[in-house]
A and B are shown apart, each in its own frame.
Chain A
Amino acid sequence: MADDRARAILARLGGAANVVEIEGCITRLRTEVRDPGLVDRAALQKHAHGVVVAGTVVQVVVGPEADMIADDIGDLL
């Protein structure tokens, strides 16, 4: 289940090729992307409490499973 969520979030971030770095931080995924234009913010919102984009840094607020989801996404990169 968590793996499905990781796949869905990764797809909305523009896929593995668009993700430079991702880390979990208690409640949010902090990720650096190559092209913020490839991030589907509206779709991402459906998998998260919120999305904060600042330049190439995208924060996806997923709740306390953040560390686990970050690990799952890391496995997919």
Chain B
Amino acid sequence: MTVHVTAPLAGRVAPLIAVPDPVFAEQMLGSGLAIEPPGGLVEAVAPISGTLAKLHPHAYVVVGDDGAGVLVHLGIDTVGLGAFVVHAEEGAQVTAGRPVVTMDADEVRARGLSAICPVVLMDSAPGGTHAHATGEVRPGDPLFTWDA
């Protein structure tokens, strides 16, 4: 089984090691990629189709029908920030590309925080994802794949 993860938002692709949070940089939750968004309002969508298993304003997890979970974390240390508008409900079925949260990247950065968004295949071995995208991506573009 191969899971194809698409970009949940627009921006420039970066390796997880570039994320200023050891939980992501050291791939404690799994492997994947990060996306540094542009300024302004950034729409974050579902990276795979499945169930919106967890939904917070600053992060969400979509679990596919095959059980693979993808975490999208919007910015670093952004929990509780008023920079997010949620467009979905926890537990909902979503298709890849469906809008989930809008982030105000300017507001995140104005607080001195990083707006980089790790996208992690939960519980995958460090370095376990492949076919990593490079450069700029748009929502829905192939981001990485993972073989169960």
Which residues of A approach B to under 8 Å, CB–CB? 25-28, 49-50, 52, 59, 61, 63-64, 67
Question: Is A63 a contact partner of B23 (Cβ separation < 8 A)?
Answer: no
A52 CB contacts on chain B under 8 angstroms: 22-23
In the complex, the answer to whether A26 meets B23 with C-beta atoms within 8 Å is: no
Which residues of the partner chain A approach B71 to less than 8 Å between Cβ atoms?
A: 26-27, 64
| Bound form: Cα–Cα A16–B79 in Å | 25
The B interface, classified by DSSP as helix, strand, loop or mixed, is: strand
Residue of B nearest to A65 (CB): B54
Interface residues of B in 1-42 (CB under 8 A from A): 22-23, 26, 28-29
Q: Given A25-B79, A27-B23, verify A61-B61 contact (CB < 8 Å).
A: no
Given contacts A49-B28, A64-B54, A64-B69, contact A26 B122 (CB under 8 A): no
Instruction: List residues of B whose CB falls within 8 A of some A CB.
Output: 22-23, 26, 28-29, 53-54, 56, 59, 61, 69, 71, 73, 79, 122-123
Given known pairs A26-B73, A52-B23, the reply for A61 and B28 (CB within 8 Å) is yes
